[in-house]
């Protein structure tokens, strides 16, 4: 029996294996996480993926979700790669700024990359708001961080960083 390759809340990755964390917008975004999982597993089915997107029928409370994400971001930042896929907004949610959590996490991990060498890869879909600023800041402070324009190239770059 093969080991599971994708973990979603509330299931935690145990042990010391390297992981890829799929960071990016969920609310109002297309289901890019499933596509990323297919791309990564198609290239290397042995890779362990942590994806914060869960089925809406999964009963996970806010604090539990945030704690799960924090744990797995730290795991990937210390032993793996964090993919930031900045998908353009598909459905507008009036009560919430699009990708608000993702934007905070992106710049948190920018600093951790600079300070600690955390491995991150960024992909930005055409039409994502704020692209110009993100590209400018990363080119100034972290020119070694790849910023790509397709999900497939972003996933491949993350796999290359694990090699």
How far is residue 56's CA from residue 47's CA, in Å, rounded to a whole number?
A: 25
Residues 55-64: pLDDT tens digits? 765 667 889 9
Smallest CA-to-CA distance from 127 within 90, 154, 102 is with: 90
User: Residue 1 pLDDT more than 50?
Assistant: no
User: Residue 3 pLDDT more than 70?
Assistant: no
User: Residue 2 pLDDT more than 80?
Assistant: no
In a domain, 1, yes or no: no
In a domain, 138, yes or no: yes
Bridge partners (DSSP) of residue 48 are: 19
CATH number for 68 = 3.40.50.450
Domain count across the chain: 1
In a domain, 79, yes or no: yes
Residues 101-148: pLDDT tens digits? 999 999 999 999 999 999 999 999 999 999 999 999 999 999 999 999
In a domain, 80, yes or no: yes
In a domain, 31, yes or no: yes
In a domain, 49, yes or no: yes
How far is residue 75's CA from residue 56's CA, in Å, rounded to a whole number?
A: 25
How far is residue 12's CA from residue 129's CA, in Å, rounded to a whole number?
A: 32
Residues 9-36: pLDDT tens digits? 989 998 889 999 999 999 999 999 999 9
Judged by DSSP in three states, 70 sits in helix
- pTM for the structure as a whole: 0.95
In a domain, 126, yes or no: yes
Structural domain of residue 69, as residue ranges? 6-162
Contact 64, 10 (CB under 8 A): yes
């Amino acid at each position: 029996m093969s080991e599971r390759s994708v973990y979603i809340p509330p299931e935690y990755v145990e042990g010391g294996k390297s992981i890829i964390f799929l960071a990016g917008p969920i609310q109002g975004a297309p289901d890019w996480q499933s596509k990323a999982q297919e791309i990564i597993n198609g290239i290397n089915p042995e890779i362990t993926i942590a994806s914060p997107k869960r089925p809406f029928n999964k009963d996970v409370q806010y604090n539990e979700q945030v704690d799960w994400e924090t744990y797995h971001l730290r795991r990937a930042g210390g032993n793996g790669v964090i993919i930031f896929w900045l998908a353009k907004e598909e459905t507008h949610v009036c009560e919430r700024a699009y990708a608000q959590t993702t934007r905070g996490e992106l710049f948190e991990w920018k600093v951790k990359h600079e300070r600690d060498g955390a491995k991150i890869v960024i992909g930005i879909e055409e039409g994502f708001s704020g692209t110009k600023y993100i590209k400018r800041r990363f080119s100034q402070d972290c020119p070694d961080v790849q910023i790509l324009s397709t999900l497939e190239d972003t996933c491949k770059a993350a796999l290359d960083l694990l090699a």
